[in-house]
Amino acid sequence: MDSHSKNGKLVIISAPSGAGKTTIIKELLARFPRLEFSISATSRAPRGNEVNEKDYYFLTRDEFMQRVREGEFVEWEEVYAGNCYGTLRLELDRIWTKGNVIIFDVDVKGGMNLKNIFGKRALSIFIMPPSIEELRNRLIGRATDSIETIEKRVAKAEHELAYAKQFDVVVINDNLDRAIAETERVIADFIS
């Protein structure tokens, strides 16, 4: 382990699907040159114009489980039935070696696991949707998932919201500009 691997910082962004994580993270990456996105591995198929090794490391289910057995993941979850997502140890080293701060887009459980592992080196942020109804509307508006998938994600969201208080910071994403500004402020404090 080099010194970066022992001291590197990380910012965790978690929220139910559709709350606005991806949108907010994209803005943060444009504003903080030292932030670098942790590319997760997943066993789900690419969606829309997602690119391998940029949005995700797309693996088959067998490849994913093989790497689980070999202990290559810091954390992983079967976030939705049949679809696994996880953070590879090598990904953390890739980013910390450059002296950058890692930003994660992970589900609520993954976010809590990373915070437990890294403690004060991690800032955990929960992005809160204004309501479940608005969350459903956003998923419908995004038009990337079938109605069945959307209903599964909404059902899971109701449970996930209960974990918000275990995060360091909760940001309500009703107004996008305000949510970005608030997230930007807490991250600036954390990495300064």
For 150, counting Cβ atoms within 10 Å of its Cβ (0-12 exposed, 13-18 middle, 19+ buried), the class is: buried
Q: Out of 14, 40, 100, 173, name the contact with ligand ADP by CB under 6 A.
A: 173
Q: Which amino acid is at 158?
A: E
Q: Out of 8, 9, 12, 17, name the contact with ligand 5GP by CB under 6 A.
A: 17
Mapped onto helix, strand or coil, the DSSP state of residue 18 is coil
Distance CA 98, CA 3 (A): 11
Residues of span 65-84 touching ligand 5GP by CB under 6 A: 75, 77, 79
Mapped onto helix, strand or coil, the DSSP state of residue 19 is coil
Q: Which stretch binds ligand 5GP (CB under 6 A): 29-37, 104-112, 166-174, 178-186?
A: 104-112
Of residues 59 and 128, the one with the C-beta less far from ligand ADP: 128
Task: Name the binder of 44 from ligand 5GP, ligand ADP, none, CB < 5-8 A by kind.
Answer: ligand 5GP
Residue 174: HSE in the Cβ half-sphere, 13 Å Cα cutoff? 3
Interface with ligand 5GP, residue 126, by CB under 6 A: no
Q: CA geometry: angle at 73 spanning 13 and 35, to 5°?
A: 35
Alpha helices in 60-167 (DSSP H): 61-69, 89-96, 108-118, 132-142, 147-160
Q: How far is the CB of 102 from ligand ADP (least distance, A)?
A: 17
For residue 161, the cross-strand partners are none
Residues of span 37-66 touching ligand 5GP by CB under 6 A: 40, 44
Binding site for ligand ADP (CB under 6 A): 15, 17-23, 138, 141-142, 173, 175-176
Name the site residues for ligand 5GP (rule: CB under 6 A). Answer: 17, 40, 44, 75, 77, 79, 85-87, 105-107, 110
